[in-house]
Structure 1
Amino acid sequence: MTTPLQVTSARLRLPVTETDHARGPADAAVTIVEYGDYQCRFCGAAYANLAEVLRQRGDSVRLVYRHFPIANVHPYAESAAEAAEAAGRRGRFWEMHDWLYQHQDQLDPVHLSLGVEQLGLSPDDVDTEVGGHAHADRVRRDFVGGIRSGVTGTPTLFVNDVRHEGGYDVAELLAAVDAAATA
């Protein structure tokens, strides 16, 4: 049985803007918006597959990442999202994003500080911002945008503003991208 929320939430409600974190050409034929949680193992699997999609369709796909930390299940997800934003403030969002997904089992504060340091950023500065929730509004904005678009779990993907209802293995994602590119 389909609930009204599922029926009305098939489209992205918060349009992509220049403030979003995006990889790939701005004029790409296909934009994938991912609502993700750095501590979610399913997002970790999708991360690797989306990287492969970008590798194979780099000229025609743009990936936008939005935060959707499910804090009641993943205790380090919000601080990881805020650390990514702190890195982003220094022009290093994607490097931190990659580190977080590649080290999902190391998102506690001690390991997170080590990761920040590995990226050449000041752990003290980033820890201060994360501890003071300097980027909580940005993370919350992404989360609320996800709720408005019907996101209830992670990862949730939208392909050209339409919710992707399929899986997130490479073959399914490539098929969705190719279909959207020719639509």
Structure 2
Amino acid sequence: MSLKPAVNKNDHAQGNLKSDLVIVEYGDYQCPYCRAAYPVLKELGREFGSQLKFVFRNFPLSEMHQYARVAAIATEAANLQGKFWEMHDAIYENQENLNEKFLIKLAKQLNLNISQFEKDLQNPELGNKVDSDFESGVMSGVNGTPSFFVNDKKFDGSARDLLQIIRENATE
């Protein structure tokens, strides 16, 4: 399967934004497998961040994970204040505490404007962005989280497998 749509300006990206090597993760903030992949992806970023572009798309499995969608919306609300990745990391690092009140606590720790953040959590446009990410995952063949794409092609493996392959290719 290939990525639909291709990575674009609406995506959250970090690393070398001009890189030819593009990794996309579809993730769920309450998924234990995404939480397990998170430190591996951080390691990937530390080792190869200057050589790759990393993109995160929301894929909240709301039927299984009560707080996945609100957490995704919270990252989008934080993004409006320039702190998407900070909120993304804080949620994964504290996943066991995840609930609506805890998201407000994280927003305070990140020095976000809380009244604006709370207002943005209710903004239907942010919910639409999360839904759009989810729909793009469905169109791209995502059927679980985390799911990875490397240069628009679905990668069938774990974050650890991904790191290993990139390490091997980097030494060639």
Matches within 5 A, 1:22-37: 22-37=13-28
Native 8 Å contact 1:106 1:112 kept in 2: no
Letter in 1 for 2:148: L
Q: From the superposition, tell whether residues 161 and 179 of structure 1 become closer, same or farther in structure 2 (CA, over 3 Å).
A: farther
The residue number in structure 1 matching 2:12 is 21
- The residue matched to 2:87 in structure 1 has which SS? helix
CA distance in 2, matches of 1:71, 1:33: 20
Matches within 5 A, 1:92-131: 92-131=83-122
Q: 1:38 aligns with which of 22, 26, 29?
A: 29
Structure 1: gaps spanning 5 or more residues: 1-9
CA RMSD for the aligned pairs?
A: 1.9
Q: Does 1:149 align with 2:140?
A: yes
Structure 2: gaps spanning 5 or more residues: none
The residue number in structure 2 matching 1:173 is 162
CA distance in 2, matches of 1:90, 1:167: 32
CA distance in 2, matches of 1:181, 1:144: 33
CA distance in 2, matches of 1:176, 1:12: 20
CA distance in 1, matches of 2:99, 2:157: 32
Aligned length: 172
State the identity as a percent. Answer: 40
Query: Taking structure 2 as the reference length, what is the TM-score of the superposition?
Result: 0.93
Query: Taking structure 1 as the reference length, what is the TM-score of the superposition?
Result: 0.87
- The residue matched to 1:135 in structure 2 has which SS? helix
CA distance in 2, matches of 1:119, 1:39: 20
Native 8 Å contact 2:40 2:163 kept in 1: no
Cα offsets for 1:33-81 (capped at 9, x unmatched): 0000000010011111011011111221111000000000001011100
Question: How much does 1:134 deviate?
Answer: 4.2
